[in-house]
Amino acid sequence: MADAAVLSTGSSVAEGRRRRNWVPYALLLPGLLWLFVFFVVPMITLASQSLQEGNVDDGFVFTGNVAVYGQALTTYWPQMLRSLLYAGTATVLALVLGYPLAYFIAQKAGRWKNVVLVLVIAPFFTSFLIRTLAWKTILSDNWVVTDWANKLGVTSVLQALGLTANDSLLFSPFAVVMGLTYNFLPFMILPLYATLERLDPRLLEAASDLYASPWQTFRKVTWPLSLPGVVAGTLLTFIPASGDFINARLLGNTQTTMIGAVIDSQFLRVLDYPLAAALSFVLLVIILVLVASYVRKAGTEELL
Amino acid sequence: MGDTTVDRTGKGDLSLVALTKSFATFTAVHPLDLTIEAGSFFALLGPSGCGKTTTLRMIAGLEDPTGGRITIGDEDITDTKAYQRNVNTVFQSYALFPHMTVVDNVMFGLKRRGDKDAKRKAREALELVQLEQVATKRPTQLSGGMQQRVALARALVNRPDVLLLDEPLGALDLKLRRQMQIELKRIQQEVGLTFIHVTHDQEEAMTMADRIAVMNAGRMEQLGDPATLYERPSSTFVANFLGQSNLLRASVLGSESGNGVVRVRSHDTELEVVRDHLPQGVGDVWLGVRPEKLRLGESGGPNRLSGLVRDVSFTGVATQYSVEMPWGQELTVVQQNDGTARARLGENVTVSWAAEHGFALDASQDAEAGAELVDDRG
């Protein structure tokens, strides 16, 4: 009797385990389905579209026309390069601005922590478009910022660097990079905050106890331990920033067009779908290669 | 560890002069004067919140004193930053850098000072703590005991003027703790550095330290070598915190010159205590006797009290008795398991002790001071 009881419990436990083994997969299903319908299918459609020929009126036919990729690169490499440059600059600026702020919130803000965090996220409550339009006002010619920039000689420095023109700040590479930096700053701050918040202050004390000056403590302890946040923050800033098409359009001029705007106009105005799709893929591959090499470097702690 | 070891030590004694730390609402350390001899193993002992860790952190430079000075030899280090002091700490949490290997952790201090020989010294330090085989591992891959030894090596390798240990054995289990106590003592004798060990464990302090400062509520209660603190506590706090004490209320009857013994009266019984063990000019005292100094029967000495055995607990090497006195107080008696007859529960017994085994303390103190803290030790 006793043996039978043990056996039956044993088998029901095994059964329960088998049933439970299905649960993770069942939970994964909606997400996988979502990714399949809204990511995998569009990617395949886009890939096939890039290899089609024709026009909107007569329809597109799949011809396996690989030449479109060459055309995309030779025609639009300046916009491509510019996008990466602007996005890269904005990412570095966001890191320089965001790191001290994230450090402050995580380690020093005390009871103000939540208030400052809300302030960081607050801009998200208004639309991306409105926030960018606000910068148009901030940097406009008849506003104090431009006034002061002129008085303090900032404009002449920016002009000498070719970042602005005609004593104004707006409609310039400078304005575009400012807009990008501003719009993506929270994406930098939040992951940085998350890692710096977990930084054990006792490690900083230990470093100080072991003759490390405040700078050395930062360089040898704080920075390497915050690398996961730095990597996450820079990726979350760089990737969307390099595909952005709003900032360049609202704050830039014809010489600051970024690749996102090109793709946008090819799709919606020129209606050259194959070229637009090819451009999208080129951008995707470039970003993937950059990100992969960056993450590999960060993994071996050689970053910066 | 080479000749350099010996050269560095003997830079001078560590002196704390009226060292004070106050926070907004309370004073963690009242003006503290203390001199710690170079090359000695010193313990700061006290219950949690007594100010011992704050004192340690002030010596390390991790906490700014509100007042007072800290000097090592002739050098005043009060106003220097932690990283400028030739003082290293073994932290309670070990605080090993998780992103570095064990050997990189140990080299950290040497590298900050640009030591060209860092690698070899780090290897030697790891040998000293018997961890050379895990040099390339990450701290998180090691056991608690091993991490503790890495933390020790990381501090030791710098040959500091003073090495501070903040409850370094607190997180280890009992067996490992005993082992590390012996190990720490061996290493200290080998390298000859000044060790200051903060602990709430009186046994640990007595096992390892040459001298102990007992702290309570931000003040130093008593300073001395372990035997003196145990045999001649100067306050009821020390008497209760270091081991157990039986404290009897007594009044001094006057001296009987000649044999150096003073007679006191406690609960209508006349008892003797050595005059040197009596505070000067005090009429009412607590007469203290350690449980193992009491004997069942009359063999212990001229001091005799009778009572009823209320509790017997046999621990193997000894038996602990609780003997109730006619006035209700229970005395604790610990008798070695040396083959002599044992008393039974409910039996009427005589308890005796020698005059030199008693110590007297000013009766204005709380007889329970420090006793309640013994139970909740971690």
SS3 B346: coil
Q: How many angstroms separate the Cα of A206 from the Cα of each of A104, B59, B106, B147?
A: 20, 14, 12, 14
Amino acid at B131: L
Q: What is the pLDDT of residue A16?
A: 57
For an interface test with B, the pick among A208, A209, A216 (most B C-beta atoms closer than 10 Å) comes out as A209
Same domain, B203 and B127: yes
Same domain, B182 and B283: no
Cβ distance B155 to B163 under 8 Å?
yes
Domain assignment present for residue A62? The answer is no
Average pLDDT, whole number, for chain A?
Answer: 88
Same domain, A32 and A161: no
User: What is the rounded (10 degree) CA torsion for B213, B216, B220, B225?
Assistant: -20
Name the residue range of residue A40's domain.
Answer: 2-50
Q: What is the pLDDT of residue B154?
A: 94
> How far apart are the C-alpha atoms of A298 and B119, rounded to whole Å?
26
Last residue of a domain, one of B231, B255, B287: B231
pTM score, whole prediction: 0.81
Domain assignment present for residue B238? The answer is no
Q: What would the pLDDT profile of A237-246 be if each residue is shown by its tens digit?
A: 999 999 998 9
Q: What is the pLDDT of residue B374?
A: 55
Domain assignment present for residue B373? The answer is no
Same domain, B227 and B258: no
Under 8 Å CB-to-CB from A102, ≥6 apart: which residues? A188, A189, A192, A193, A196, A229
> How far apart are the C-alpha atoms of B12 and B128, rounded to whole Å?
25
Same domain, B260 and B328: yes
Q: Would you call A208 and B62 a contact, using CB atoms and an 8 Å cutoff?
A: yes
Same domain, B288 and B208: no
Any CB–CB contact under 8 A between A220 and chain B?
Answer: yes
Same domain, A185 and A261: yes
Same domain, A46 and A76: no
Q: Check which CATH number belongs to the domain holding B294 and give it.
A: 2.40.50.140
Name the residue among A211, A218, A205, A108 with its Cα closest to residue B56.
A205
> How far apart are the C-alpha atoms of B324 and B308, rounded to whole Å?
5
Stronger pLDDT, B374 or A89, i.e. the higher one: A89
Under 8 Å CB-to-CB from B374, ≥6 apart: which residues? B240, B241, B244
> How far apart are the C-alpha atoms of B15 and B70, rounded to whole Å?
6
Q: Check which CATH number belongs to the domain holding A128 and give it.
A: 1.10.3720.10
Domain assignment present for residue B300? The answer is yes
> How far apart are the C-alpha atoms of B12 and B161, rounded to whole Å?
8
DSSP B341: P
Cβ distance B129 to B120 under 8 Å?
no
Name the residue range of residue B149's domain.
Answer: 4-231
Cβ distance A294 to A242 under 8 Å?
no
Same domain, A105 and A190: yes
A212: nearest CB among B83, B87, B91: B83
Q: What is the pLDDT of residue B4?
A: 40
Q: What is the pLDDT of residue A198?
A: 92
Same domain, A134 and A203: yes
Same domain, A45 and A157: no
Count of structural domains within chain A = 2
Under 8 Å CB-to-CB from A4, ≥6 apart: which residues? none
Any CB–CB contact under 8 A between B64 and chain A?
Answer: no
pLDDT band with cut points at 50, 70 and 90 for residue B5: very low
Q: What would the pLDDT profile of A100-150 be if each residue is shown by its tens digit?
A: 999 999 988 888 999 999 999 888 888 889 999 999 898 988 888 888 888
Q: What is the pLDDT of residue A5?
A: 45
SS (H, E, C) A106-165: HHHCHHHHHHHHHHHHHHHHCCHHHHHHHHHHHCCCCCHHHHHHHHCCHHHHHHHCCCCE
Neighbouring-strand partners of residue B215: B220
Q: Would you call B112 and A200 a contact, using CB atoms and an 8 Å cutoff?
A: no
Any CB–CB contact under 8 A between B154 and chain A?
Answer: yes
Same domain, B270 and B317: yes
Domain assignment present for residue A55? The answer is no
B88: nearest CB among A210, A216, A220: A210
Last residue of a domain, one of B181, B198, B231: B231
Last residue of a domain, one of B177, B210, B231: B231
Q: What is the pLDDT of residue B376?
A: 43
Which of residues 157 through 216 in chain B touch A, CB cutoff 8 A? 158
Q: Would you call B99 and A301 a contact, using CB atoms and an 8 Å cutoff?
A: yes
Count of structural domains within chain B = 2
Stronger pLDDT, B272 or A137, i.e. the higher one: A137
Same domain, B146 and B278: no
Amino acid at A287: I
User: Which chain B positions have a beta carbon within 8 Å of A203's beta carbon?
Assistant: 95, 97-98
Any CB–CB contact under 8 A between B345 and chain A?
Answer: no
Q: What would the pLDDT profile of B326-368 be if each residue is shown by its tens digit?
A: 888 888 999 888 877 778 888 888 888 888 888 888 887 787 7
Q: Which of A3-17, B100-114, B330-344 has the lowest mean pLDDT?
A: A3-17
Q: Which of A57-61, A282-286, B157-161 has the lowest mean pLDDT?
A: A57-61
